[in-house]
Structure 1
Amino acid sequence: MASPAKRLKATPLRIGTHNGHFHVCLILGRQTDSGADEALAVYMLRLLPEYQGSTLIRSRDPAVLEECDIIVDVHAQYDGIKHFDHHQRTFSETFSPDFQTKLSSAGLIYKHFAPQIISHRLSIPIDDPSVTLLYNKVYKDFIEAIDANDNGISAYPSDVKPAFNDKSISLPSLVGLLNPEWNSTVKTQELEDEKFLEASKLMGTVFDQKLDYYGKSWLPARDHVVEAMKGRFEFDEKGRILVFSQSVPWKDHLFTLEAEVGVEGEDKRPLYVLYGEGAEKSSWRIQCVPVSKDSFESRKPLPEAWRGTRDDALSEVSGIPGGVFVHASGFIGGNKTFEGALEMAKTSLEL
């Protein structure tokens, strides 16, 4: 007779997805990368305690799939419980009313299970407000692009010719390379499944890194930006200079906080950020606030006469001792001391 422990041991849950290539599909007559979405969907499910050690079933046989506990990216059904496919004609689900991008299987799994994944991986109570903040942030900055790619949605109008081809370095293209070669002399379901698991691990590694970064680095930085915003009038009467004791990821939080607190007037927006470099803060940086989070254009670049100069030449042209450098584009510079960097900021405000 089996022991009580063995009798109570649950059968591993089964995840179902389609077999075949996880590379290219045709959407509205356009060839688009695919496969990255179900590879990531499977990985995310396996981050949940109940799906750790789960069995993966890759098939297109409806009877085989229905024996699984959850089915992703196949079977033309979506119910938010067992079926998570997005290929049916009537499908129009988005992450929230704030987004127009239709979800892929990755987006569907993320939408339904990410709060639990975030809570479990980062050891944060699921009802903590930071879970919602991270849930929205990771979707906007990572998952949405996977959804758009799989659904054949371009990031920019089709009549805009790109300056170079970046498709070959995208995550979906790297997933595609993991498919067995078309002319391989060995083609088996077992080999195909092994390659799919490699693709799932690749997508999952990036997802883990993204989530860890946002949870352990990006989110804690918000408090530093809040404090810098509160103390900005100490350095300039209009609050145009922010000071951090060390380099933190501040850009995203700054633009969010500006919208939240309602910074009044363009003449009172932060223009320069100062922060110490290295553990000993042996030098200080002055960085210009960009016109938007992802822009290379600064709200107010450092003075033209300073750009491209270094050391004594910079100190001489600026009239400020301790000069280290100013980038040729004027978006960043450095000084040996905090006082010197602060003087660079104040002088730049008046030029």
Structure 2
Amino acid sequence: MFLRRIPSTIFGIITRSRLSRTIMSESPAKRLKTSPRKIGTHNGHFHADEALAVYILRLLPEYQDASLLRSRDPAALEECDIIVDVSGVYDGTKHFDHHQRTFAETFSAEYKTKLSSAGLIYKHFAPALISLRLNQPVSHPSVELLYQKVYKEFIEALDANDNGINAYPADVAPAFNTGGITLPSMVGALNPNWNTPVDQAGEDALFLQASKLMGETFARKLDYYISAWLPARDFVVDAINKRFEHDKDGRILVFASSIPWKDHLFTLEKELGITEEGNKPLYVLYSEGSKPGWRIQCVPVSKDSFESRKPLPDVWRGVRDDALSEVSGIPGGVFVHASGFIGGNKTFDGALEMAKKALVM
């Protein structure tokens, strides 16, 4: 059964005008040749990977108006322009299935996680999608940076889930019950209940809901990395270049506002060869933006760690306002968290003095 395309929502709002210009600039012969296309996938129980794969394809100009066939009829599927998550074939052009016994494709040599249909479609088509969104050629370094980042932070988890790969060793007991609140579980819950039969049209409609859920989440994630995460890199580079203005050993970074700096800092430290423990940044200062005051945050030992390279002094922790100013000897104290990973002062000079004092305590 053929279905109308999914509205591209958030990402589509951003790119629709650009996509329209691209299509309108093509010759009539080319438009006739490339549209409308057909995407094929299997019917029956659906999963997060093919739901996302279909949505990613529909973010591309050549598939934005594609119809969708959900079937297990090989002859019908072969009439499609691209087939995902069914057919038992992966050729990187028309067939994108990962269920065959011989399949062992990963995103790159760096990864051990086998790809699902989401990973396969992302691997082959995401560079073009990111290039379109950035309005940069596929060869642009930012395209590759985002391509790698989104796979690692979003797509790989879906590949692992679909292939039954645990994030932790089997003998590690979870600290609490998550209740199965994950994107794949939410997609699974959209399938018809075992005791509530639906016809093909009803099942297809539920699949479209699942595809929209996965696709909108992916689009938001990608747009965050494009519009917020990537631009922050230049500010981190600038702060690293200016770090010796605030401390002779370059251990204090300053940002005009709160930005996503952790990822970039650890990456840039490796790129720039900042390896000596005594020369690595220990504190980050940033303005609280619309609120008056400045924060001092400790650099963690790794991007996702709660352990700081050098926590704020123990005697400051859990102390606030005038009491903090008194114990620290620095006017304008606001607070220091009980764990010592972050604190605040009413002024930049006060926050900088806190950082300098903390370095020697």
TM over 0.5: yes
Distance 2:355 2:187 in 1: 46
Unpaired stretches in structure 2, ≥5 consecutive residues = 1-27
Asked if 1:99 is matched to 2:111, the reply is yes
Matches within 5 A, 1:1-351: 9=32, 11-22=35-46, 35-166=47-178, 168-184=180-196, 186-279=197-290, 282-351=292-361
Unpaired stretches in structure 1, ≥5 consecutive residues = 23-34
Corresponding residue of 1:29: none
Pair 350,51 (structure 1): closer, same or farther in 2 beyond 3 Å: same
String of CA shifts for 1:258-298, please: whole Å, max 9, x gaps: 1111114101111000001114x620000000010001111
Are the counterparts in 2 of residues 102 and 147 from structure 1 also a CA contact under 8 Å? yes
Pair 204,284 (structure 1): closer, same or farther in 2 beyond 3 Å: same
Distance 1:261 1:228 in 2: 13
String of CA shifts for 1:18-57, please: whole Å, max 9, x gaps: 11011xxxxxxxxxxxx10000000000001010111110
Residue 80 (structure 1) shift:
0.1
Q: Give SS of 2:257's match.
A: coil
Residue 129 (structure 1) shift:
1.3
String of CA shifts for 1:97-148, please: whole Å, max 9, x gaps: 1111110000000000001111223333322211111111101111111111
Are the counterparts in 2 of residues 179 and 196 from structure 1 also a CA contact under 8 Å? yes
Scaled by the length of structure 2, the TM-score of the pair is: 0.90
Distance 2:135 2:69 in 1: 30
What is the number of equivalent residue pairs in this alignment?
334
Are the counterparts in 1 of residues 130 and 143 from structure 2 also a CA contact under 8 Å? yes
Scaled by the length of structure 1, the TM-score of the pair is: 0.92
Task: Please tell me the residue identity of whatever aligns with 2:158.
Answer: I
Are the counterparts in 2 of residues 76 and 86 from structure 1 also a CA contact under 8 Å? yes
Q: Which contiguous aligned blocks of 4+ residues in structure 1 show a shift greater than 2 angstroms?
A: 5-11, 121-127
Q: Give SS of 2:218's match.
A: helix
Are the counterparts in 1 of residues 253 and 281 from structure 2 also a CA contact under 8 Å? yes
String of CA shifts for 1:229-249, please: whole Å, max 9, x gaps: 111111111111101111110
Are the counterparts in 1 of residues 269 and 275 from structure 2 also a CA contact under 8 Å? no
Task: Please tell me the residue identity of whatever aligns with 2:166.
Answer: S
Distance 1:240 1:288 in 2: 11
Residue 7 (structure 1) shift:
12
Distance 2:207 2:124 in 1: 23
